[in-house]
């Protein structure tokens, strides 16, 4: 009985931690960071929050994750890059509200569409009024909802066990 009690407590603790943690987005989902993917479509309908993470997966040195200004994003210019990586796995944590711009700086890749703009909700973002709770549209929402249900069920089991 002690073991199952500990297990239930562990489950509750891990789901609670998951609920509090930020969402990690795999850019391009299974396709990753490559040419031929519409990243504007990928980003649309997703809600990005401060603390969330973007994970770019790509073939090492075949692409870059280059963060640029809005102007350079539209110009596909990596000449004044804010950051640059070609290591094959680039993690970007969204630390503040606002829009961030990423391009691939390899030959014509950006020009043919390998670029991503992500708007992080919060602050002065007009698309997310203060106090608004994103529901459904965010990629993380179904998982979080499921986590809540499991956490609630586990909490119920914990109470039952405690009563015995």
Least distance between Cu ion and beta carbon 69 (Å): 19
Residues that bind Cu ion (CB under 5 A): 63, 104, 106, 109, 114
State in angstroms the smallest separation of the CB of 35 from Cu ion. 6
Pairing of strands 98-103, 115-120: antiparallel
CA 124 to chain centre: 20
Nearer to Cu ion, 21 or 111 (CB): 111
* C-beta of 8 vs 104, nearer to Cu ion: 104
| Nearest CB to Cu ion, comparing residues 57 and 125 | 57
**For 59-98, b where at least 16 C-beta lie within 10 A, e where not — what string?**
eeeebbbbbbeeebbeebbbeebeeebbebebebebeebe
CB 114 within 8 A of CB 102: no
Identify which of residues 15 and 73 has a Cβ nearer to Cu ion in the complex: 73
Smallest distance, Å, CB 61 to Cu ion?
10
Closest approach of Cβ 25 to Cu ion, in Å?
Answer: 19
Q: Nearest 5°: phi and psi at 58?
A: -165, 170
């Amino acid at each position: 009985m002690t073991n199952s009690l500990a297990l239930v407590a562990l489950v509750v603790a891990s789901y609670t931690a998951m609920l509090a943690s930020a969402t990690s987005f795999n850019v391009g989902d299974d396709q990753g960071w490559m040419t031929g993917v519409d990243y504007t479509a990928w980003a649309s309908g997703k809600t990005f929050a401060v603390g969330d993470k973007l994970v770019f997966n790509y073939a090492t040195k075949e692409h870059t994750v280059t963060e640029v200004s809005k102007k350079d994003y539209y110009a596909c210019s990596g000449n004044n890059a804010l950051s640059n990586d070609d290591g094959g796995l680039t993690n970007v944590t969204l630390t503040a509200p606002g829009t961030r711009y990423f391009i691939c700086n390899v030959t014509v890749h950006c020009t043919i569409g390998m670029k991503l703009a992500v708007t992080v909700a919060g602050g002065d973002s007009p698309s997310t009024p203060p106090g608004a709770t994103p529901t459904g549209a965010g990629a993380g929402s179904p998982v979080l909802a499921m986590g809540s249900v499991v956490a609630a069920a586990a909490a119920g089991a914990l109470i039952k066990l405690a009563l015995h």
